[in-house]
Amino acid sequence: MRDQNDRGVRTGRGIVLGAALLAAVTTGLVRYQTLLGAVHVALLYLLIVLLVSARYGRVAGMVMSGLAFLAFNFFFIPPYHTLAIGNPLDWLVLAVFLATALTAAQLLHRARRESALREAARVKDALLAGVSHDIRTPLTSIRAIAHEVAQDGDERGLVIEEESIRLTQFVEDMLDLSRLRVGGLVVASAINAADDVVGAALQRVAGIAGDREIVARVEGEPLLAGRFDFTHTLRVVANLLENAIKYSPRDAAVELAVRREGDRLLFVVADRGPGLPPGEEEAVFSAFYRPRHAVPDARSAGLGLALARGLAEVQQGALSYAPRPGGGSVFTLSLPAVDLHDSLSVL
């Protein structure tokens, strides 16, 4: 309530000061009433509207648009000193002026709001990065102590160690997501073989997969390669496989295929899970977002796909979703491809 009152007082002050400025400018212009063209008056009045909008907000700017419209008509549209209009074309002049003034006030308000949101997001990401960094040290200590307790035969130590590992991973994801947004994530792109990424990803998810079938294949050339950061790419592919395992039926295989299309190297992960409801195809890549049909899982914070897309884009790549024919999901990681024959000849 207090904020609303403060905004109201600020808007009122802006209207009063703007009206005073408008009156002063009008007094000066009236002396040259017959010499001034409509364009000169319109530009000066638009400047007043923009100044008031920039300083006191959209409402004050829109009120000033109305006042400037009336002053324009009364003092500078014949017959003077009346709101009547002799030339029908002057209606067009006034209508265009009013529409331009209102649009300018609205656009300026939107630009200021977007700028404020970007700044708030930047500060939030910087704060999250700092907090996440500071949390890692005590988590490491907790994990070490819990490990010692577990070795003494206390099962509670094992539980604490597992939970600390999960929390550490969450903090790492938060830290990397914040670094991505503020441009602080280190990327070391180099020529890497697709086979190496596939093998490492399968090893990483082996414990989660258990006896689940994962069908992996590299299509086309004997050795596909791309220019990317191996660690970041491995993280993305492993994340996609983990999601596919989580949401697929136990009797349905998860598929990982790698192929080249033009100058792009594609890692395609397909499953037979429920897929995404219409309209959630892009929302699923937002931080902390979980689909409406998501399997209840308190261990999932909804950061995986947001981080995966960020890691793809920072390597000049992309990550997209498509429904799978017959049911399920298809996630495609696209990265710059490299022709190994050309690369070796250059070397």
**Mind listing the pLDDT tens digit for each residue in 251-307?**
899 999 999 999 999 999 999 988 888 888 888 888 777 666 555 454 556 678 888
Digit-coded pLDDT (tens) for 63-91: 888 888 888 878 887 787 778 776 666 66
pTM over 0.75: no
| Least reliable range by pLDDT among 48-52, 150-154, 329-333 | 150-154
Digit-coded pLDDT (tens) for 131-163: 555 666 676 777 777 778 778 777 787 777 777
Model confidence band, residue 343 (pLDDT cutoffs 50, 70, 90): low
Residue 128 or 269, more confident? 269
Amino acid letter, residue 291: P
Q: What is the pLDDT of residue 128?
A: 59
Gyration radius of the chain over CA positions: 31
Q: What is the pLDDT of residue 347?
A: 44
Q: What is the pLDDT of residue 2?
A: 55
Tokens 């648009």 found at = 65
Tokens 């500071």 found at = 134
Copy the structure tokens of residue 147.
């490990």
For residue 256, give every residue at least 6 positions away whose Cβ sits within 8 Å of its Cβ, in sequence order, or none. 198, 201, 202, 214, 215, 216, 217, 237, 241, 267, 268, 269
**Burial 90-121, CB ≥16 within 10 A → b, else e:** beebbeebbeebbebbeebbeeeeeeeeeeee
Q: What is the pLDDT of residue 260?
A: 93
Cα angle 272, 235, 217 (rounded to 5 degrees) comes to 50
Give the right CATH number for 190-346 from 3.30.565.10, 2.60.40.420, 3.30.1490.100, 3.40.140.10: 3.30.565.10
Digit-coded pLDDT (tens) for 180-227: 776 767 888 999 999 999 999 999 998 888 888 999 999 876 789 999
User: Could you give the dihedral angle defined by the CA atoms of residues 112, 113, 118 and 121, in that order, rounded to the nearest 10 degrees?
Assistant: 140
Residue 175 has pLDDT above 80, yes or no: no
